[in-house]
Chains A and B, each alone.
Chain A
Amino acid sequence: MNESMDFLLWTRGTAFDVSVAIFIVGMLIRLFEIVSLGRGRDLAAPRGTEFLPGIRTILSRTLPYGGTFKRQPLTVIAGYLFHIGLLVSLLLFIPHIELFRETFGFGWPGLPNPIVDAAAVLGITGLLAALWNRLTNPVMKMLSDSEDYLVWILTFLPLLTGYLAYHRMINPYPLAMGLHILSIELLLVLFPFTKLMHTFTLFLARWYNGAMSGRRGVES
């Protein structure tokens, strides 16, 4: 009877609680699983230190190596486009900031909506380019399995539904917004159990890489 409004309230209520709970529990399990495997103490006399080189690598890997860019510009550009589009839309859209403020007790300034809107368009374009790249680049095509396409969909849907909801292109609005929230809930639920985990584990991975190299006196 009141489908779209009930749907919106369900996505803003029960479904949100459940998915946030699964996300947090799953994330913690995954992080514990990783860290519990430990790393043997390195008995070789170090040439350099671990901590700062580790931090340095966390930062430096954000920029691609020039050689890689020359060989695979599309991978790099599409990657940047969609990551920036995604992060700007997620973190600098005022309604989202209000949600974070409610969750964490603090917020930050946002960007005017037209800028966020442009970022979302870039993000969508970047994701489409990334998909095309995955389907045509021989290396990516060979590497990709169903999970890669699943996480693509999980990432694409929030951007798409968010864009459609913001521009009120799906009617009625409660349905549009409900779909947007649902797409994020889907993302949250599957996040800890897919390679979406890289969002967090890349900091660990980069740190290990930088620390192990730093110990040998190499900036990685």
Chain B
Amino acid sequence: MVDTKTKTLGEILRHSGVSRRGFLKFCTATASMMALPPGMVPAIAAALDKARRPSVIWLSFQECTGCTESLTRSHSPSLENLIFDHISLDYHHTLQVASGDAAEAAREEAMHANAGSYLVVVDGSIPLGNPGYSTTAGFSNLQILEETAAGAAAVIAVGTCAAFGGLPKADPNPTGAVSVRDIVTDKPVINVSGCPPIPVVITGVLAHYLTFGTLPELDQYGRPKAFYGTSIHDRCYRRPFYDKGLFASTFDDEGARSGWCLYKLGCKGPMTYNACATAKWNEGTSWPVESGHGCLGCSQPDFWDAGGFYNALSIPVGELSRTVSYATAAGLGLGAVAAGINHRSKVEANRRHGEVTVDDLEKTS
């Protein structure tokens, strides 16, 4: 057993049997994912090698634990796992052994001991409708977040629920769910969206923090640009089929078997920004589009409300045929009224017609 409290990341990795070559490979991959120049790889390796574990408090609110699962239930122990293990996870509902008062005590202790320097990771959205909708040890999610974030260096909102409200916020948002950024406004908040997010993106952000001691550059949604800078569509290997106009129309037609574009089957790739197409899932095995299913757009805000998963992106969200029939009914009614008015107006003009004789050709002044 290595003393994880004092050892550096390099020491832990070596102890776990990770070769220098494997470690450098991870650093190269991370640098490339974060769009850093290859020259940075030795610097990243050196920094990570010497990095000491930061204190991390993991808060779970209205969530499904999928984000934690994504990170921890890899099929084989991965470097992502190891880096995750390296951080001092002082508080994590799902993973920690301690419970009840002891658990809360651990959180408070970590907050005091590392005031101003600890990281807060949040998964799940925060209900504002009624504090009772989601509580931990009698405290509402809002209370816990506000209290814990106060002394944090930064907050990482993991998953679309924490980042944008996610599924709980889906229309009609019964709990009044909001995102971390709606509550924490005076601290850097990094959104690592996705339902769930790609594991390497979570560790990539941590690696960046460990390497540079700073947070990565963010896009307008507060997401690391390195991972969310390009859309699924732009990086999709099926893109040439979109450009050629070759689309699968059902999940079992010739187009689907030939691997054509899934736009017609509801793929939301064009509007979705994430690294799935390059990072892939399950140790690089595959990703949704490769498995034959369109992108759901899970890393985008309000993706639950962005129309049916199997409706093409160009199809509006509402019930168009209902709108059309109501409007037609209203139009027929109002049209009849307009027609009536015009008809009456013309009849009136005809009635007021005074016969024009040759005596009426001069203007009367």
Contact = CB atoms under 8 A, between A and B. Distances in A.
A177 B305 CA distance: 16
Main secondary structure of the interface of B (DSSP, over half): helix
A14 B245 contact: no
A4 B305 CA distance: 14
B350 to A, nearest CB: 11
Given A2-B301, A32-B338, A173 B182 contact: no
A134 to B, nearest CB: 31
B263 A95 contact: yes
Most buried by B among A3, A23, A28, A33: A28
B53 interface: no
Nearest to B315: A102
Most buried by A among B179, B245, B270: B245
A2 B302 contact: yes
Given A8-B271, A33-B338, A25 B321 contact: no
Interface residues of B, number: 54
Contact of B316 (A23, A38, A96, A99): A99
A96 B315 CA distance: 8
Contacts of A96: 314
Contacts of B247: 94
A114 interface: yes
Contacts of B242: 113
B362 interface: no
A24 B316 contact: no
A35 B342 CA distance: 10
A105 B320 CA distance: 11
Contacts of A114: 243-245
A2 B221 contact: yes
Contacts of B246: 112
Contacts of B316: 12-13, 16-17, 99, 102
A21 B330 contact: yes
Given A36-B338, A36-B339, A95 B324 contact: no
Interface string A76-120: 000000000000000000111011001101000011111110000
Contacts of B182: 1
Contacts of A139: none
Contacts of B332: 28
B342 A9 contact: no
B70 to A, nearest CB: 22
B314 A95 contact: yes
Contacts of A98: 263-264, 311-312, 314-315
B253 to A, nearest CB: 14
Interface size band for A: 35 or more
A36 B343 contact: yes
Contact of B243 (A29, A99, A113, A177): A113
Most buried by A among B263, B323, B328: B323
B317 A33 contact: no
B314 to A, nearest CB: 4
Nearest to B317: A13
Interface string B326-341: 1110111011101110
Contact of B318 (A16, A25, A99): A16
A143 to B, nearest CB: 26
B299 to A, nearest CB: 11
A102 B320 contact: yes
B245 A174 contact: no
A198 interface: no
Contacts of B340: 36
B60 interface: no
A94 B265 CA distance: 12
Interface of B: 164, 179, 181-182, 219-221, 231, 233-234, 242-247, 263-264, 270-271, 273, 300-302, 305-307, 311-318, 320-321, 323-324, 326-328, 330-332, 334-336, 338-340, 342-343, 346
7 A-B pairs with the lowest CB-CB distances in the bound complex, closest first? A28-B331, A36-B339, A112-B245, A32-B335, A95-B314, A98-B312, A24-B327
12 contacts: A3-B220, A5-B221, A21-B327, A25-B327, A28-B328, A28-B331, A37-B346, A38-B343, A110-B245, A113-B244, A116-B245, A173-B270
